[in-house]
Each structure stands twice: as C-alpha cells, then as structure tokens.
C-alpha cells in the first residue's frame, strides 16, 4: 500500500508528470497523461432522475443522502429506493452554479443524527443576491428538523458563480468549508477580512477555533486564502491533513495541501489565463505563496476529491480520485512516495460530467453525474 509520510508531504509543492511512463519536470497535462482502463470495472446505476446532483454523504446504515443543485436533498436506500425530497429544506437561490451543494454528516451522527449542508442562501434583507452558507439539521426519516444556519459567507453577492461549498470534518471534529471568489471579486481572494476565495474552519456550532490564523480580523473563520473556486476537499486517511482541489480559469486547476494561514496565490499567481485569452498574472511563483501539489493545463474542470481506501481496487490504495466535468471521466492520480505520477481515465465513453466522488468502507466507488437527469453510479470489480 502506498503511504504518505509527514516528511514527504513537505516535498510535494512541485508536481511531476508522467507521459507514457517517462518522468517529466512539469505539471500534468491532460493530452499527455492519459490511459483509459475500464476493463474489469463494473458500473451500476443506483439511481437516476436527479436534478443536477452535486454532493453525497453515506449514513451509518448504508443509506446515502444526495443533494440536487436546484434545491433538494434526497435519500437513497441500500435497496436502491430514492425518496422524494426531504421536508424542510430551506429556500435556496438556485441561480447558475448556486443551489444546494455539498452535504456531510456529523462525526457523532450515530448519537445525534445531525447533518450539515452548504447552499446558496438568499439575503436576509430581502435584497438580490446570495451567500454560501452552512446549515445543520437533525435528520428524522425523510425530513430535516431543527434547521439552523451556522455560517454565512460575507458579503452577500448578486451573481451565480464560484460558490465553492465543499465540506469536510477533520479528526478534531472541526468543519472546513470551501468558498469561491464569486467570479467578479477575484482580487478579494487576497483579503483575509472577508470570505472571498477562502477555506474557512469552524466548530460544529459555527464558532471559531482558537487556533484559526486570523481571529483578530473581520473574518475570523478564514483558515487559508488565495483560492479561486474549490470544488473538492478531503482529509488524508493516514496523515489527517486537509487537501483541496480548485478550478483554475483557462488552465491552472490545482490540488493543494491546505495549511493553517497559508496563501495559495490567486489571482497574484496562476498557471491559467482568462477565458478571453487575457493574462490574469504573468507570475506563477511569488514569495509567501504556496505552489500547488499538482496542476492541470489545460484544465479538466475537476470536481470531487477523495483518497482511495479499501480492498476492492487494491492497486489503487493511497491514490487520488477526482471527477472531470470537462472531459467527462473519473481520473485516478497514481501517488508514489507522496508525489503524483501517472494519471488514468475511466468511464470517458459514458459522456457524463462527474460532479462528486466517494468511496465506501468496502472500497466501492460512487459517482454523481451532473445533468438534468443525473445519476448515482457505483463502480465495483
């Protein structure tokens, strides 16, 4: 089994690419680092008819909660029955990329039945606009009870882009929430007095951990900054470190090891350019700013991020799985001695935008396809 070690993690700021088995001193490039290996993988459709499914979370009994970006949360039973939308889901601003996005369960769910979800919450003042917000609620059968908003990104913005909204708990039961730069406000990602382009860390009640780096500022929840639009976040199963993946502009999608108080550079440094072809920054390195562990140019539009664990695909243990929206495949990044090496594609022939990736205790892989008739897929041997 390939393992990360604490010593190796610090050496991974420069990514390596493998093309046809040859090591290169550059970051991975989608038209060079591809192999398609669907042989031996069984794909089962567990559910369909979901409206742009976005996030999923396993329950202890084997059921799954699945969000629909348009405003719903549904329950998928072990037997494959898909519920109607859960009752008491709050109002959302389902505009472009906004809506009900990620979902996770409390580390003590078996005792408290508590779930957390991130969504585009309308302005409390009744004005146009929304903010990426996190609510907690008690799950009782197919309903949410005691719904409480514990965090809302500030300020409220009237557009439908770059919400972030991925969720993960660490071993200390702190909740990490990813937040985008809301597209037109990219320069604010360097300002730690608001929530644009940040990853925040909060307690389960929405309080701020004492060890957060900017507790004296106007946005004490901020844990790291300089992000563009983080669409994947996970905790390494061995080290407990938080890893995140974000969309670049045209090029420059990144995977990063997230550190307390670190600046990941956006938009002062980037490996991408604007969609128009204009230069955002002519710099890829700057003192005091982190380098990505890996980046893609051209972009693959990644979404969903998980380290593979389990015995079903033993040769994948310790590797990274991500979905590609742009190139409609599941991608595996082979990790050797804490570094990215060869990359592989799976399911590209399905032509489905992969929005989220999860792995169950047995090692089966679950995917969400982002479409008006979205599906839950299960990958097994």
How far is residue 191 CA from its own chain's centroid? 22
Whether 247 sits among the annotated catalytic residues: the reply is no
Out of 27, 162, 195, 227, pick the active-site residue. Answer: 162
Omega of the bond prior to 25 within 30 degrees of 0, cis? no
CA–CA separation, 253 vs 263, rounded Å? 16
Please name the residues in contact with 240: beta carbons below 8 A apart, sequence gap of 6 or more: 170, 171
Joined tokens for residue 295: 């980046």
Please name the residues in contact with 270: beta carbons below 8 A apart, sequence gap of 6 or more: 228, 248, 249, 252, 280, 281, 284
Least Cα distance to 260 among 306, 204, 214, 216 occurs for 214
Taking a C-beta distance cutoff of 8 angstroms, is the pair 297, 249 a contact? Answer: no
Residue with tokens 């409206």, as numbered in its chain: 51
Q: Decide: helix, strand or coil at residue 136.
A: strand
Active site residues: 162
């Amino acid at each position: 089994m390939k393992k990360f070690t604490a010593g190796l993690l610090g050496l991974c700021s420069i990514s390596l690419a493998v093309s046809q088995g040859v090591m290169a001193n550059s970051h991975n490039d989608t038209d060079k680092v591809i192999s398609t290996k669907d042989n031996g993988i069984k794909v089962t459709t567990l559910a369909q008819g979901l409206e742009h499914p976005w996030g999923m979370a396993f329950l202890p009994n084997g059921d799954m909660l699945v969000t629909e970006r348009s405003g719903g949360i549904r329950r998928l039973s072990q037997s494959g029955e898909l519920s109607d939308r859960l009752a008491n889901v709050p109002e959302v601003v389902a505009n472009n990329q906004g809506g009900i996005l990620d979902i996770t369960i409390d580390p003590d769910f078996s005792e408290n039945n508590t779930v957390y979800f991130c969504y585009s919450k309308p302005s409390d003042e009744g004005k146009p606009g929304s903010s990426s917000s996190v609510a907690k609620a008690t799950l009782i059968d197919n309903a949410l009870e005691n719904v409480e908003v514990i965090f809302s990104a500030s300020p409220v913005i009237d557009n439908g882009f770059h919400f972030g909204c991925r969720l993960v708990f660490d071993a200390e039961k702190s909740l990490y929430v990813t937040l985008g730069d809301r597209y037109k406000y990219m320069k604010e990602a360097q300002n730690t007095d608001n929530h644009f382009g940040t990853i925040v860390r909060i307690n389960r009640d929405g309080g701020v951990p004492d060890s957060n780096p900017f507790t004296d500022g106007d946005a004490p929840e901020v844990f790291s900054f300089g992000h563009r639009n983080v669409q994947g976040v996970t905790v390494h199963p061995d080290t407990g470190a938080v890893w995140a993946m974000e969309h670049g502009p045209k090029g420059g999608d990144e995977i990063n090891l997230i550190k307390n108080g670190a600046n990941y550079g956006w938009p002062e440094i980037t490996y991408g350019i604007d969609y128009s072809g204009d230069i955002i920054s002519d710099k890829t390195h700057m003192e005091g700013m982190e380098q990505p562990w890996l980046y893609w140019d051209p972009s693959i539009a990644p979404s969903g991020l998980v380290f593979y664990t389990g015995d079903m695909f033993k040769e994948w243990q310790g590797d990274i799985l991500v979905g590609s929206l742009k190139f409609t495949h599941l991608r595996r990044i082979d990790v050797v001695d804490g570094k990215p090496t060869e990359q592989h594609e799976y399911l590209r022939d399905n032509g489905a935008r992969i929005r989220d990736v999860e792995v169950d205790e047995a090692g089966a892989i679950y995917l969400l396809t982002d479409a008006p008739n979205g599906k839950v897929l299960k990958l097994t041997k």
